[in-house]
Amino acid sequence: MSLFSNDSEFLKLLAHRRDIDLIDVSLELARDANPDLDFRPTQNWINDQAFEVGRISSVCRSEHAVLDNLVSHLVEECGLRGDPAVFHRPESSYLPHVIETGLGIPISLSVIYMEIARRAGIELQGIPAPLHFLSRHQTERGAVFVDAYSAGRMLSQTECLHWLQAQTGLSAEQIIPTLRTASPRQIVIRMLNNLRGIYCRNEDWSAAFRVQQRLAALNPIDYDAQVDLGQLALRANVPGPAYDVFRRCATHSGRKEPQRLQMLLREAKRRIALSN
């Protein structure tokens, strides 16, 4: 049985499909931390908010009014907002917790915005800006960027560029390519990278290993992703999978890092022997 056999949306990503429901795939990630997670309360909440947003948007007379209604509802009625204190907490990436507390990081809040907007008939696309995930609505007068983390603040492209330059120290030429629409695959990979970083900083190696299993599955020919998987397996004290990963890497890496891989293989074999 596949490791992800119960994750229908994640399996679509593995098959390089784009018809991904970001709410459901986000819930599949959250189920890694809570195996008994019931998806229905989150799904129902998203659909209820989309109905309310769509009901009012249907009588709005301009694109700006439609977008303003979406943001106002999610901030004022739903209480969604960012908070620096949650950046290093893994639950801030998991939608049920974000909805329950109202607190999230830019990407988890943006996914909620985007999927409620989609269900309400509003086009809102994910934008993988550096350090701070955003969404974008294209109007006849130009792009409007929405910062879900900052209470749905809306920015023109010029304002967005200036703000990102100040935040990152990057040039406009470096930032502009990052303002292209993110695919569902890119969004999920960014969510997983965030989670892996948090779990590693917290030295929760079992959770980090679970996250890396998904990243390695999404990047099966990425040598570094596979080695990272093996190393996290060792840290999580599951040397059997670590040995299998390192052996595959040694088989397919050619002459890349032969000494390092042999050392990792020996360590995995040593751990296996100790566990028997």
For residue 5 the two structure tokens come to: 């056999």
User: Residue 1: pLDDT above 50?
Assistant: no
The length of the chain, given as a count of residues: 276
Q: What is the pLDDT of residue 62?
A: 84
Q: Give domain 8-179's CATH number out of 1.25.40, 3.10.620, 3.50.30, 1.10.287.
A: 3.10.620
Query: Helix H segments across the chain?
Result: 8-14, 22-33, 40-57, 63-72, 95-101, 106-119, 157-168, 172-175, 184-201, 205-218, 223-235, 239-252, 258-275
**161 neighbors 176 (Cβ within 8 angstroms):** yes
Look at 7 and 251; give whichever has higher pLDDT. 7
Q: What is the CA radius of gyration of the chain?
A: 21
User: Residue 98: pLDDT above 50?
Assistant: yes
Please give the mean pLDDT across all residues of the chain. Answer: 93
User: Residue 201 — very low, low, confident or very high, per pLDDT cuts 50/70/90?
Assistant: very high
Which segment of 128-142, 179-193, 203-217 scores lowest on mean pLDDT? 128-142
Q: What is the pLDDT of residue 262?
A: 87
pLDDT tens digit string along 127-158?
Answer: 999 999 999 998 888 899 999 999 999 999 99
Which segment of 60-64, 104-108, 220-224 scores lowest on mean pLDDT? 60-64
Q: Where are the domains of the chain?
A: 8-179, 184-275
Q: In what order do the strands lie in the sheet with 153-156?
A: 125-127, 134-139, 142-147, 153-156
Which segment of 1-5, 16-20, 55-59, 177-181 scores lowest on mean pLDDT? 1-5
User: Residue 188 — very low, low, confident or very high, per pLDDT cuts 50/70/90?
Assistant: very high
Query: Which residues, 6+ apart, have CB-to-CB distance to 216 below 8 Å?
Result: 222, 225, 226, 228, 229, 245
User: Residue 255: pLDDT above 80?
Assistant: no
Query: What's the fold here for domain 184-275?
Result: 1.25.40
Which segment of 25-34, 59-68, 134-143, 185-194 scores lowest on mean pLDDT? 59-68
